Amino acid sequence: MLRLIKLAFVASSLWLAACAGNPMLVSTNQTVIAPDPDKAQVVFMRSSFVGSAINASLFEVKGDQNEFIGIMANGTKISHEVEPGEHTFMVVSEAADFMKANLEAGKTYYAMVTPRMGAWKARFSFQPIKKSADSNFSTSSKNFGDWVNGTKLVENSEASQLWAQNNAQSIESKKDAYLTKWLSKDPEEIARQTLEATDGL
């Protein structure tokens, strides 16, 4: 029994070490540039010491397709340019969680990717950064500048794209398991996890 516990501990340590690495590339330009006038942009940020050894992967759900956005390590941010209109985003780790967005052309929107403890490792949720000062995460908060300036802008690499290809089946199964459950939430709860057009800067 002791030997099994030791083996489990070693395996767990190796797994955590692998999760701590991030195949994304640090962008040469660290400034978040405004989107094209006919596009919108969502900047996803992650800044927390909880679950810092675990990476989260981001996708845009487009019907039956999952468009890979990138992998988020602690202290990073990813900029994602899209067409204006309605979108659904997904964050995946042990489980999957979702965020809706109604985006306006020419604007930049922000969302935090925050960890919460799951059964075996950290799970992640979206926290839309609203314009309202009453929101838990607000663009008018004194912390907003720290979130933007304290995270490194990263972009996809061949390694991150390969990871997404190799894990496509697992990602799809997690979407199937959690999206229907998420859509059945109370409308007010879904609204709290939605970026509205007026939240853009």
CATH assignment at residue 143: 2.60.40.2890
Does residue 14 lie within any of the structural domains? no
52 pLDDT tier (thresholds 50, 70, 90): low
* pTM, entire model: 0.85
Dihedral angle sign, alpha carbons of residues 64, 91, 136, 30 = negative
DSSP bridge pairs for 190: none
**Structural domain for 167, as ranges:** 23-199
Does residue 5 lie within any of the structural domains? no
State the pLDDT at residue 94.
84
Does residue 16 lie within any of the structural domains? no
Does residue 61 lie within any of the structural domains? yes
Structural domain count of the chain: 1
From first CA to last CA, the distance across the chain in angstroms is 57
Does residue 182 lie within any of the structural domains? yes
Burial class of residue 56 in the structure, from the number of CB atoms within 10 Å of its CB (0-12 exposed, 13-18 middle, 19+ buried):
buried
pLDDT digits (tens, 9 = 90+) for 122-150: 689 999 999 988 888 899 988 899 999 99
Does residue 6 lie within any of the structural domains? no
Q: Which amino acid, residue 152? A: K
Sequence length of the chain is 201
State the pLDDT at residue 12.
35
Q: Which amino acid, residue 115? A: P
Does residue 10 lie within any of the structural domains? no
For residue 21, which phi and psi values (nearest 5 degrees)?
Answer: -75, 150
Percent of the chain residues topping a pLDDT of 70: 84
Q: Tokens 């990717």 map to which residue?
A: 113
Does residue 123 lie within any of the structural domains? yes
Q: Which amino acid, residue 139? A: T
